[in-house]
Amino acid sequence: MEFGVLSTAGIARKAFLPAAAASDHAVGAIASRDAERARSVAGEYSIPRHYGSYGELLEDDDLDAVYVPLPNALHAEWTRKAADAGHDVLCEKPLAADAEEARATVEHCRERGVTLMEGFMYRYHPRTERAVALAREELEGVHSVSATFKFPLGDDPADVRLSPELAGGSLMDVGCYAVSAARLFLGEPERAFATTHDSRGAGVDTDLAGVLELGDGASARVASGFDSRLIQRYRVEGENGWIEVEDAFDAPTDEPTELAYRIDGRKGTETFDPVDQFRLEVEHFASAVESGESPQTDGEGAVANMEAIDALAESARRDEVVDVE
């Protein structure tokens, strides 16, 4: 498969381009609003074609698929435009700025007959797959998940993650991982409550603490932020034990990772060899396109995640419990 990449964003350069190069697939073109920037990155990563606009790249008929790592508010727009050009789309999380836009984008891609996948790379790590299997097969009465992703964001006021217009904020940037993990182990929530803080006066949340409640009494605590040391973990609790994972979402590619558990009095730690979860994500996407099967992190999952995110954000605005629509 030959990918086109819309933007020279950091996640594209640091994660996606190396992952694609390590796979059986390739990046055939990259675009930037700055033509010189596109040329420079293309040269650095040995990408054969570069374009000074996103629209030009979409007209490249030699491409099979498009990777979209643009700011959050532009994800849905350029996903739809890529679909209009006949390209399958791997879009960075979150798929859209809100659930309504996500639903419209999923339907648009369905009508165009293209594969759509949301880029939650942690879902493709063998450790995540093992945690899901362990919870399903050995944990009884799973009733609680706690998930956190926080990191120290720099002081640049122009950072897109601090822009309300570009759908910034810690919930959208990293809290979406915590919400994804909660849904992965518990299912879909019915109610949400959250509090937020804007320490930068930027108009977006720089810290969020929330609760997602399910109809059966199970609940998840989710947290995200830009003002603390790096924390990324989740814990799944059942009647007969628990599972814990550190470095849960942006897992290192050059060192082993671990999963700890205590189930029925049996305590253990499982170790996983270093792996590039972005490469596994690329390979899963290509396989889904080839087979015509829906990817694990498909459009419907993206909509459900945004419904929970929207509810948390609305709850924080209203300072009350709200239903997840």
pLDDT in tens, 229-257: 999 999 999 999 999 999 999 999 999 99
Same CATH topology for 2-120 and 122-289+297-323? no
CB-CB contact of 308 with 298 (8 Å): no
Active-site pick, 14, 81, 93, 267: 93
- Closest among 119, 135, 120, 139 to 67, alpha carbons compared: 119
End-to-end, the C-alpha distance of the chain in Å comes to: 37
pTM exceeds 0.95 for this model: yes
Average pLDDT over residues 58-72: 98
Distance of alpha carbon 3 from alpha carbon 8, whole angstroms: 14
93 is catalytic: yes
Neighbours of 319 (CB within 10 A): 9
Average pLDDT over residues 266-285: 98
**At 35, is the pLDDT very low, low, confident or very high (cuts 50, 70, 90)?**
very high
**Hey, where are the domains in the chain?**
2-120, 122-289+297-323
**CATH topology classification for 2-120:** Rossmann fold (3.40.50)
Residue 290 backbone phi and psi in degrees, to 5: -65, -40
Superfamily of domain 122-289+297-323: Dihydrodipicolinate Reductase; domain 2 (3.30.360.10)
Strand order in the sheet with 49-51: 49-51, 26-31, 2-6, 65-68, 88-92, 116-119
- Residue 232: the pLDDT is 98
pLDDT in tens, 114-145: 999 999 999 999 999 999 999 999 999 999 99
